[in-house]
Amino acid sequence: MRTKIAIIGLGAAAHNIHLPAYAMIGDKATVVGGCDINEKARDRAGKEWNIQAVYDNADEMIDKTRPDIVSIITPPAQHFEHCQIALKQGCHVFCEKPFMENLEQVDKIIEMEDHAKRHAVVNNEFRYMQIHSKAKELIGKPEFGELQYLHAWQTFIPTDHTEAGWRSQLEKRVCFEFGNHVFDLIRFFFGKTPTKIFAHMPKPVPGIKTDLINVVSVEFDDGRGASFILDRLCKGPERYLDVRLDGDYASIHTFIGGELRCQIGMHTRERKPFLDFSLVKGGKAELQVGNRSRVIAKDPLNPFKAATSVLFSRFIDAIENKIVPPCNAKDSRDTLALILAAYESATSGLPVVLSNCN
């Protein structure tokens, strides 16, 4: 029997990521209903995805369609309300990120899911992109060794399209909305949560109160560390997300975004010429030792859709096998704690020591 899904929020993320992801695992799941306060969004879901049961009220949708899982694809300010609605009606929850606005809301959801004997999972799909899952597999292996340091960076040019909707209304903007991905990947690759964080978020543009630059470093209790820079002021080439992982014997470089490149040059130290051609649709990961490199993974044109389908499939498997699913609410709480600590550090100008993290 296929798992029944009902969706709250039929906007861009539903059409570009979630609905295509569910279609990829159509043998395991089926969409039985959708909900949105916007009539055009409801009409589009019916026409493009043949969702016949569409509503403008979440309670009514759940009551009439009786789904197993409710996918919450609304702005973060609405997640707390919608998660409560789904859990009260006895449904599991698959929620977009950022999960909640504060830790108190997360703790309430954890309490409710424990009481309802249901699970809330956050769509931290970046873990399940092939480039990141393959990199994780190599950590601890002889060719890479242990992970000692991670650095990530993004250069992104905001446009009217990217700033439309709830994102442009956030005062805590970049680290809350996109930093979630980076903090989650740091925890994923290291297998633990940092214990100290220091963040700098300058605001050089007069009249703009949101954070457009994040310079963040974290430390672990064993002395290892990570850092990242998110830059929304750069007017040069965009880089959606690059990650470099430095191990004992090699480095791994991953990036999200297409690439068509041909390079001819000279490695000056070895005095050797090189020729390199690269065609990437959605993302690539390379294992690097000096000037030598080899591709270890690539992602398709829409890596977000593909990775979401993997995580959602694992969520279904966990429910069927009565085990704790990945990216659950308790795990995601630690990622949110890092985001909030970054803003605290940027405001105070001091490092923040974290406690009660796994």
As to burial, measured by CB atoms within 10 angstroms (0-12 exposed, 13-18 middle, 19+ buried), residue 303 is buried
132 contacts: CB under 8 Å, gap ≥ 6: 126, 185, 188, 189, 243, 254, 285
pLDDT of residue 190: 98
What homologous superfamily is domain 3-122 in, according to CATH? NAD(P)-binding Rossmann-like Domain (3.40.50.720)
pLDDT of residue 163: 74
pLDDT of residue 152: 98
Task: Return the axis-axis angle of helices 103-116 and 329-348, rounded to nearest 10°.
Answer: 170
Q: Return mean pLDDT, the chain.
A: 92
Q: Which helix (H) or strand (E) holds 171?
A: none
Judged by average pLDDT, the poorest of 86-90, 244-248, 263-267 is 263-267
Q: What percent of the chain has pLDDT over 70?
A: 92
Judged by average pLDDT, the poorest of 29-33, 101-105, 309-313, 352-356 is 352-356
Specify the higher pLDDT residue, 169 or 12: 12
Given a contact cutoff of 8 angstroms between Cβ atoms, the answer to whether 219 and 194 are in contact is yes
What is the rounded average pLDDT of the residues 273-291?
75
Please report, for the chain, the start and end positions of each structural domain, with discontinuous segments joined by +.
3-122, 127-300+338-353
Categorize the per-residue pLDDT at 260 as very low, low, confident or very high, splitting at 50, 70 and 90. Answer: very low
What homologous superfamily is domain 127-300+338-353 in, according to CATH? Dihydrodipicolinate Reductase; domain 2 (3.30.360.10)
Judged by average pLDDT, the poorest of 100-109, 164-173, 305-314, 323-332 is 164-173
Q: How does pLDDT run across 1-56, given as a tens digit for each residue? A: 899 999 999 999 999 999 999 999 999 999 999 999 999 999 999 999 999 899 99
Q: What is the pTM of this model?
A: 0.92
DSSP 76: G
67 pLDDT above the threshold of 80: yes
